């Protein structure tokens, strides 16, 4: 691994560990590499979600009653 790493202990379900080992061998990676990639992707997804929430935070709020009225007017309910 090219970057500084920290050692940690995690406990995986047996079937998940087996699947990770098989995938690691199949793609010439390590179990640690796969776990790091999964965590990195999960954190990136969280960052995208947070950015979306921040963008939508500027939108005006409407009440539930108003939303139901709009849905009725538009023939959705």
User: Containing domain of residue 32, as a range?
Assistant: 14-73
Q: Which residues of the chain have pLDDT under 70?
A: 1-2
Q: Is residue 66 part of a domain?
A: yes
Exposure string (b/e) for 26-49, b if CB count within 10 Å is 16 or more? Answer: eeeeeeeebeeeeeeeeeeeeeee
Q: Is residue 6 part of a domain?
A: no
Give the per-residue pLDDT at 3: 81
Q: Is residue 20 part of a domain?
A: yes
Q: Is residue 4 part of a domain?
A: no
Q: Is residue 40 part of a domain?
A: yes
Give the per-residue pLDDT at 12: 97
- 34 CB-near residues (< 8 Å, 6+ apart): 20, 23, 24
Give the per-residue pLDDT at 2: 64
Give the per-residue pLDDT at 58: 84
Give the per-residue pLDDT at 57: 85
Task: Indicate the number of domains in the chain.
Answer: 1
């Amino acid at each position: 691994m090219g970057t500084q790493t920290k050692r940690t202990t995690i406990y995986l379900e047996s079937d998940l560990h087996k699947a990770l080992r098989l995938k690691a061998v199949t793609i010439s990676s390590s179990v640690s590499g796969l776990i790091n990639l999964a965590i990195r992707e999960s954190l990136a997804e969280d960052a995208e979600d947070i950015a979306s929430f921040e963008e939508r935070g500027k939108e005006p709020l409407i009440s539930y009653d108003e939303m139901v009225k709009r849905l009725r007017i538009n023939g959705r309910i």
